[in-house]
């Protein structure tokens, strides 16, 4: 417990569905500036033409292999990705499935769309193919709390089972709210993260229609389509995936001899309250300040920011402006990168995968780059962009992950190296 009477919260497990899906570790790919984006082709019934879009798909993820048929046949892909990520984090934390857990250990999950692939199929079956009714499992496939519920069932977590659906801040908020549960003493352990499986052709076309998806004419262009902070940035690429952290009350973790990656020290939120999609630097700055205040850290103590960095024309300069507002003179020395350039935009799971990247960066003292950033936009200067390959052998004590969602909902997490005092 800290001097403030609140419990300290540490990260003891990380889990991810690796979008690269090969023998090279995920973080090593990021440090090299590799992109997991590929040009995906989608065939549709007439009158629709086949179409292509750069995406990040977890092609190596076979649910039946990782989860078994009983779970995978009862779940949408977004749940499958989430359950598998949670299992991975659980194992990484040194726990076994079925191990007895305190009654108040829980789950806090995030997703933007939930089971959109099941919705897509159900509507198609019902309206187009004339089936008298969708599958009786449609409801339990699509509900936004399905992933969290399956994780709780499989891991025996009988405390709070929460789902947060706050667009692209969903899983940053799920981690932040889990953090508060542990800090207040309501729970000793929380599995927190998010998952998303948004690659339904109709939804992809809807994102395209918003003019926020980076175009790509071929495979080469697809690989570097998402270029945050670049003068020629043209938007993001949609990605599917899941990522999870095991958050634990520090004394609980120390007593059982757990490996501690780092401490989750602060969480800040805000709402722009200005526009449904146009971001606002003042609102983002409030969330950053709130997170720093919550962590009892000065801006100068932050040594890395994993930016939201969606590579949209409007969003990136606003985010840099918010950083400069809060960090002042320190901004020019503040390493910033957007890992979305490599793993794609996981929407409701973005906050979770980017928190995981931040945790790994801090614990390894290595900072991954923003890939493909060879020409920084004038409107995005004023911070220390990490470009090319990542930078190793850094010395920094704290790092931040930012998530700024449609709806103006902002969430910022601050991690710091674990110290015994």
Catalytic residues: 168, 308, 345
For the beta carbon of residue 396, count every other beta carbon within 10 angstroms. 17
For the beta carbon of residue 110, count every other beta carbon within 10 angstroms. 38
Nearer to another protein, 25 or 68 (CB): 68
Contact 107, 148 (CB under 8 A): yes
Interface of this chain with another protein, residues 139 to 168, rule: CB under 8 A = 140
Q: Should residue 135 be labelled a site residue for another protein when binding is judged by CB under 8 A? A: yes
Q: Give the start-end residues of each E strand in 272-363.
A: 304-306, 335-337
Contact 398, 362 (CB under 8 A): yes
Of 68-76, 189-197, 237-245, 407-415, which segment contacts another protein by CB under 8 A?
68-76
Side by side, which strands form the sheet with 51-56? 38-42, 51-56, 238-239
Q: Should residue 420 be labelled a site residue for another protein when binding is judged by CB under 8 A? A: no
In the set 131, 275, 298, 333, which binds another protein (CB under 8 A)? 131
The conformational region for residue 125 under phi > 0 = left, psi -120 to 50 = alpha, else beta, is alpha
In the set 73, 184, 218, 231, which binds another protein (CB under 8 A)? 73
H/E stretch holding 122: helix 116-123
Q: Should residue 276 be labelled a site residue for another protein when binding is judged by CB under 8 A? A: no
CA–CA dist 268, 252 (Å, integer): 25
Of 3-11, 131-139, 200-208, 296-304, which segment contacts another protein by CB under 8 A?
131-139
Q: CB of 146: closest distance to another protein in angstroms?
A: 12
Q: Should residue 97 be labelled a site residue for another protein when binding is judged by CB under 8 A? A: no
Q: CB of 118: closest distance to another protein in angstroms?
A: 13
Q: Should residue 65 be labelled a site residue for another protein when binding is judged by CB under 8 A? A: no
Nearer to another protein, 50 or 132 (CB): 132
Beta strands 262-271 and 9-16 are: antiparallel
Q: Should residue 342 be labelled a site residue for another protein when binding is judged by CB under 8 A? A: no
| Binding residues vs another protein (CB under 8 A) | 68-70, 73-74, 131, 133, 135-137, 140
């Amino acid at each position: 417990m800290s001097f403030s009477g609140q419990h300290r919260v540490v990260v003891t497990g990380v889990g991810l569905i690796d979008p690269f899906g090969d023998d090279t570790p995920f973080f090593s790919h990021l440090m090299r500036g590799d992109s997991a984006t590929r040009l995906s082709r989608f065939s549709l019934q007439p009158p629709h033409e086949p179409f292509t879009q750069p995406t990040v798909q977890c092609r190596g993820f076979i649910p039946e292999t990782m989860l078994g048929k009983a779970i995978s046949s009862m779940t949408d892909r977004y749940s499958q990705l989430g359950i598998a990520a949670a299992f991975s984090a659980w194992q990484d934390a040194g726990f076994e499935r079925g191990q007895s857990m305190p009654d108040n250990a829980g789950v806090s999950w995030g997703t933007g769309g939930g089971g959109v692939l099941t919705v897509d199929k159900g509507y198609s079956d019902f309206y187009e193919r004339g089936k008298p009714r969708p599958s009786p499992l449609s409801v339990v496939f699509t509900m936004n709390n399905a992933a969290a519920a399956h994780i709780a069932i499989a891991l025996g977590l009988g405390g709070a089972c929460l789902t947060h659906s706050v667009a692209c801040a969903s899983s940053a908020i799920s981690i932040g709210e889990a953090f508060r549960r542990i800090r207040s003493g309501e729970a000793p352990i929380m599995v927190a993260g998010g998952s998303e499986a948004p690659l339904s052709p109709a939804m992809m076309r809807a994102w395209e229609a918003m003019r926020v998806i980076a175009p790509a004419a071929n495979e080469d262009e697809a690989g570097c389509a998402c270029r945050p902070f670049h003068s020629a940035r043209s938007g993001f690429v949609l990605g599917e995936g899941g990522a999870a952290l095991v958050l634990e009350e520090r004394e609980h973790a120390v007593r059982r001899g757990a490996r501690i990656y780092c401490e989750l020290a602060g969480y800040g939120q805000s709402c722009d309250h200005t526009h449904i999609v146009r971001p606002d630097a003042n609102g983002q700055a409030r969330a950053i300040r709130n997170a720093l205040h919550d962590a009892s850290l000065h801006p100068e103590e932050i040594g890395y920011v994993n930016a939201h960095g969606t590579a949209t024309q409007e969003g990136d300069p606003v985010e840099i402006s918010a950083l400069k507002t809060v960090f002042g003179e320190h901004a020019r020395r503040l390493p910033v990168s957007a890992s979305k350039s490599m793993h794609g935009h996981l929407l409701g799971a973005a906050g979770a995968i980017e928190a995981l990247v931040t945790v790994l960066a801090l614990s390894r003292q290595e900072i991954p780059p923003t890939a493909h950033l060879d020409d920084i936009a004038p409107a995005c200067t004023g911070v220390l962009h990490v470009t090319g390959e990542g930078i190793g052998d850094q010395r920094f004590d704290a790092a931040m992950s930012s998530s700024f969602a449609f709806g103006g909902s902002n969430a910022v997490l601050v991690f710091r190296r674990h110290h015994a005092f």
